[in-house]
Structure 1
Amino acid sequence: MAARSRLAKEAAYLAGMLRALKATTHIGRNRNRVFPHVIAELADKHRGRTALISERETFTYEELNGRANAYARWARANGVEKGDTVALMMANRPDYLAFWVGILRIGGAVALLNTNLTGQALAHCVSIVKPKHVVVGAELEAAYASAHPFVASDPAPRVWRHGPGEEGWPRVDEAALEQSQDPIPADELPTLSIEDRALYIYTSGTTGLPKAANINHYRLMAISHGFCGAMGIRPDDRMYECLPMYHTAGGVIAAGSPLIAGASVVIRERFQASRFWDDVVESGCTLAQYIGELCRYLVHTPETASEKRHKLRLVCGNGLRPDVWPEFERRFRIPLVLEWYAATEGNVALFNFDGTQGAVGRIAWYLKRKFPVKVVRFDVEIGEPVRGPDGFCIECGPEEAGEAVGLILNDPSKPSARFEGYADPEATKRKILTDAFETGDRWFRTGDLMRRDERGYFFFVDRIGDTFRWKGENVATSEVSEAISVFPGVKDVNVYGVALPGYDGRAGMAMVVPEDEGIDLEGLHAHVAAQLPSFARPVVIRIARELDLTGTLKQRKVDLVREGCDPRVVADPMFLAHPASGRYAPLDAELYDEVATKRLRV
């Protein structure tokens, strides 16, 4: 039975890899065929077939292409030339995709702005890409108005509004209606290459200001076609897309990949856990795109009849935590979870085609030369890979945690090995590891700690910067989070390390959001003692009403680390793992001072 299961997994892995490779190998051969060309071809092929569906508007393939033509003409009429940038800040809707396809069609690049940002953080995102125009959805005009005075760009970009609003900006949607939707003659369009820039997609900013990742046309083609192949999307499929379209998962994978197969995409403005299953059933979706925290929210919702009546055949995404995965798959009767790992800007891509729970992907031994990814030893304290006596990095053995890195090649025949970097050259430089295994080589640093087993499965350990060192041992925040999250009464948890005066390293601290009925702290203390080694057990528990999350549901930690656990700074209730009583005791200023002066050792 075990042998058959292993054989079945190998077959699933090979089938998935072959589908993905078949879908992408042609891209490098026709270097002047890019995504806007594909949309035009799909419009000719499918015409009246439904492409994008939402509560705001629904486009057929022909309408999507026509709308893109109108935006292309608007851009050209307003001075956008090949190489220019237009910034877009708009809520999820079909016109979002139509807009950036249109700008790309005439050679422009589009910066996809995070709709959750305001003020100087948003101004930073605009300034670093130096756009000629900024297009803002009417519902976001106040957010952009708060940033506009801080935009440092010369000349300043012209601001347009999409939809009716209060600001005195011209309306891009009305301007587009004045333009023809007919195909633009080929001799009026610039020659485009897969090497040309297409999009700027920003990192989430969990560890500082967001960085604008350069996405060229090759990467856009590879992502959309590769995931179409990886999921085995069929024309009769319908994708449920509720993730932000300013990120790769929502805006390119979920919204773009189904179109390659002639399928349809149901677009929602945002994820709503209470409505998710009803909406999936009512819309008749067969595919859904997730991020890990979305799945965790769903398993914490009350049961509904719809969660068993859906027609999903596959869910695709990344970040599904090992402690959530079995319950998510069992409770919602998911036939197949396609977990993957990739960075928007990076060259490391992993797929878990066989559903092995907990694995973010696999590179079998017979594909290691084609996909040069290594896991190197990493020093958590200095934040750098470990180098041996010869000055080169040391590759980790099976099950040994280290940083995952991917070989950077500027070989035209291997465009997937490229690293296009960021708008900020310094940010680009920090992501490249040089002279790692031989003089002159260059590797993309993922910033993630992973371990790889003997069969080539990769398992996520932690983000670099999240892992901390306490009592001479490395502590992975993900491991601690998983242990705490399964304790009754825990709704959310965010684990990080904080400095304690007079102590080396960082002490473990967990911000816990309890369920409505509260949490048994005495039981939690016993639980972590049973589940975790002594050095990994949280020294301090902070009780909060909610976690601070990014627009893609990622946890923010920088401010929490900075606040630490001094009751004079932190207003939330905190509890110390008291070494004498063996339980979590209320942490007040007096007790904190005892720890800080080492009258009480933790």
Structure 2
Amino acid sequence: MELHLISLALGLLLLVPVALKILFPYLWLDVLFFVDIMRIFVAFVSRRRKKPAFFALDRFLEQVAAVPDKSFMVFGDERYTFALVDEQSNRIANALRAHPGYTPGDTVALFMGNEPAFVTTWLALAKLGSPVALLNSNIRSKSLLHCFNCCRATVLIAASELRNAVEEVLSFLTERGTTILLMSKDCDTPGIQGFSAQVEEASDTPIPRSLRSHITFKSPAVYIYTSGTTGLPKAAVLNQNRLLSALAVLSSNGITSKDIFYLNLPLYHTAGFIVGFIGCIETGSTIILKKKFSASQFWDDCRKHNVTVIQYIGEVMRYLCSTPKKDNDKEHKVRLAIGNGIRAEVWREFLNRFGNIQIREFYASTEGNVGFVNYAGKIGAVGRVNFFYRKLFPYTLIKYDTERDEPVRDANGLCVKALKGETGLLVSKITDIAPFLGYVQNEEQNERKRLRNVLKKGDLYFNTGDLLKIDHDNFIYFQDRVGDTFRWKGENVATTEVSDILTLSGCLQEANVYGVQVPGHEGRIGMAAATLKKDVKFDGRRMYQHVVSYLPSYARPRFIRIQDAMEVTGTFKQMKVKLMEQGFNPGSVQDPLYILDDRAESYMLLTAEIYKSIMSGSIKL
């Protein structure tokens, strides 16, 4: 009898894992994720307690001491060891110290694309205790001046190929007494100084720690620009504490010192700078730095450099899947892809075509105080509800009225939680662990991101501006963005800024800019509904020249719809939702429609034939 009971107990015990697997299929992954979170927290706290204070720069210096001869960065045929990058950054720092227009600790704007000088200059400025504003190398004119001014920078360091862009705003910069340094040996433009020769002649001796002794965890480290509803980019503050916490998080993303990381996303964006550059400082991985993304060269580069980790945004993956198929598509060493914005259908296609690569999809924003990671690998999801994580970072989804562009509130004035399977606005409680640092000199936008009286009177949450959904298996899915920003070609496009620029063209009275979906494309492409000035005809060539002169390629409206009158809401807000739904089909839209044609250098009439070619994929946008 006893033997029978023991056998029965053992049998039941053996059934427990099976039962748990059936009833709670993700329990073990949830537990492992929680353990990972605790390990990250312990690593972060231990670094916070170090004396003297430990920052992201100090992690780089640790790597220099530990593996000086290891390749940290490869750019084309040039190879840079940790020691070489350290020495070069010392030269830049010493050259800056000797320059009369710079004082250690001054805020500096860095205007560069992806190149080794971006990395070494940022490290140099970190050694000097200077906050760095990372300017988008595509911005020009009004946007460039705005981004420079809002972070209170006194020095601008620019790449040599961006000389013309600097010269366009030179008079405004010199009026402010700005020191302008160009990464070239000489420059004959008055007001712009060639800086490379000074760097080459400077000493590579280490920079005294005393020059950054004023830095605290609350000190700004970098300003990264993000578009918003104001129409101009906003400078999000990332302080030293945020970078330190990023180091701890990035140590658990599955990347090790043996990995070779392919970085082709812009270093001036959060993805390239934090996940790519700062992430490789933490792990000691080698960076294969690419000037810009190229779908045709992507896999050849990966094979050439034995790349093991790639980084993506949704558009990157779609572009890779759109390239002509080759017999060697699966011949590579890539084992991990980390990023965000990949659609489920592209995810499946990518795996089928390029092999068994682990996709580490995550959700985060530059200024946000919450993030998710799809540690379970569920196709299409950005994360998963985890009880323990939610206790550390309280967040919720609330019902949102897209027509009124505001959260739904009950009779007590509190927000209404979205139900399982229902799309809602993601909001995250602002706490000491999850602060909202805000934007520089933009209290109006800071307040718009703060949502009060959410679940109870007096509480305070961060408004992500993103619509998400939680399914009945507790997986989290990104749905869309709210407000006046849409995403195209991996860039956020502020509709108000584009509208303002369109109305300066001379022929448009009003312009309502929004994003429309195109089959087979990630994000939304720009479209404008506009009214003409009295007795003025639409001039497609003139409009083309105007948008090309003032807007980067990703922000130029691809379609323009000419209306007799602008549709507005009862509170005089421009209607966007209805226009987005109507799209750009000339068969259903009665208004004249135009399409931007780069070959003709004009906006041309959008015909039914052109529309069919777009929908079939014959015309690439």
> Where on the TM-score scale, by shorter chain, does this alignment land: which range?
0.7 to 0.9
Counterparts of 1:273 and 1:591 in 2: how far apart (Å)? 31
Residue 258 of structure 2, aligned match among 233, 236, 244? 236
Residue 404 of structure 2, aligned match among 375, 378, 382? 382
1:199 CA drift (Å)? 0.6
Per the alignment, in what secondary structure is the counterpart of residue 100 of structure 1?
A: helix
Does residue 1:290 correspond to 2:312, yes or no? yes
Does residue 1:41 correspond to 2:59, yes or no? no
2:445 is matched with which residue?
A: 427
User: AA paired with 2:470?
Assistant: R
1:367 is matched with which residue?
A: 389
Does residue 1:129 correspond to 2:151, yes or no? yes
Pairs within 5 Å for 1:87-486: 87-151=109-173, 155-164=176-185, 167-168=188-189, 169-204=192-227, 208-230=231-253, 232-409=254-431, 411=432, 414=433, 416-465=434-483, 481=517, 485=519
User: AA paired with 2:461?
Assistant: W
| Range moving further from structure 2, 7-16 or 85-94 | 7-16
**CA offsets, 1:482-524, max 9 Å, x none?**
xx625xxxx78846898799xxxxxxxxxxxxxxxxxxxxxxx
Count of aligned pairs: 513
1:397 CA drift (Å)? 1.6
| Range moving further from structure 2, 71-80 or 375-384 | 71-80
Change (3 A) 1:68 1:499: closer
Pairs within 5 Å for 1:541-552: none
Q: Is the 8 A contact 2:529 2:563 kept in 1?
A: no
Counterparts of 2:448 and 2:271 in 1: how far apart (Å)? 24
Residue 26 of structure 1, aligned match among 41, 46, 50? 46
Per the alignment, in what secondary structure is the counterpart of residue 587 of structure 2?
A: strand
1:73 is matched with which residue?
A: 94
Change (3 A) 1:590 1:201: closer
1:345 CA drift (Å)? 1.3
**CA offsets, 1:259-306, max 9 Å, x none?**
222211000000001111111111111001111101111111101344
**CA offsets, 1:208-251, max 9 Å, x none?**
21111111111122223312322x22111010000011011112
2:606 is matched with which residue?
A: none
Q: Is the 8 A contact 2:186 2:193 kept in 1?
A: no
Pairs within 5 Å for 1:519-598: 556=555, 563-564=560-561, 566=563, 585=587
1:404 CA drift (Å)? 0.6
**CA offsets, 1:185-222, max 9 Å, x none?**
33454242221111111114687211111111111222
1:530 is matched with which residue?
A: none
**CA offsets, 1:440-483, max 9 Å, x none?**
32211111111122443221111103799xxxxxxxx99x94xx
1:52 is matched with which residue?
A: 73
Q: Is the 8 A contact 1:56 1:93 kept in 2?
A: no
Q: Is the 8 A contact 2:129 2:211 kept in 1?
A: no
1:395 CA drift (Å)? 1.7
**CA offsets, 1:41-98, max 9 Å, x none?**
2111111111111027432111222222222223333354465211111121222111
Counterparts of 1:568 and 1:391 in 2: how far apart (Å)? 36
Per the alignment, in what secondary structure is the counterpart of residue 252 of structure 2?
A: helix
1:115 CA drift (Å)? 0.7
Change (3 A) 1:384 1:266: same
User: AA paired with 1:178?
Assistant: E
1:11 CA drift (Å)? 6.1
Change (3 A) 1:493 1:256: closer
**CA offsets, 1:512-548, max 9 Å, x none?**
xxxxxxxxxxxxxxxxxxxxxxxxxxxxxxxxxxx99
Q: Is the 8 A contact 1:340 1:351 kept in 2?
A: yes
Per the alignment, in what secondary structure is the counterpart of residue 295 of structure 1?
A: helix
1:173 CA drift (Å)? 2.5
Q: Is the 8 A contact 1:364 1:455 kept in 2?
A: no
User: AA paired with 2:184?
Assistant: G
Q: Is the 8 A contact 2:107 2:133 kept in 1?
A: yes
1:154 CA drift (Å)? 6.4
Q: Is the 8 A contact 1:52 1:267 kept in 2?
A: yes
- TM-score, normalised with respect to structure 2: 0.74
Q: Is the 8 A contact 2:260 2:307 kept in 1?
A: yes
1:156 CA drift (Å)? 2.8
Find the structure with the greater CA-based Rg: 2
1:380 CA drift (Å)? 1.2
Counterparts of 1:39 and 1:494 in 2: how far apart (Å)? 38
The sequence identity of aligned pairs, in percent, is: 31
| Range moving further from structure 2, 261-270 or 57-66 | 57-66
Counterparts of 1:421 and 1:577 in 2: how far apart (Å)? 32
User: AA paired with 2:587?
Assistant: A
Q: Is the 8 A contact 1:23 1:226 kept in 2?
A: no
Change (3 A) 1:165 1:327: farther
Change (3 A) 1:82 1:334: farther
What RMSD, in angstroms, separates the aligned Cα atoms of the two structures?
3.6
| Range moving further from structure 2, 313-322 or 138-147 | 138-147
User: AA paired with 1:123?
Assistant: L
Change (3 A) 1:587 1:263: closer
Q: Is the 8 A contact 1:83 1:109 kept in 2?
A: yes
Change (3 A) 1:385 1:207: same
Q: Is the 8 A contact 1:363 1:371 kept in 2?
A: no
**Structure 1 spans left out of the alignment, 5+ residues:** 469-476, 502-546, 570-575, 593-602
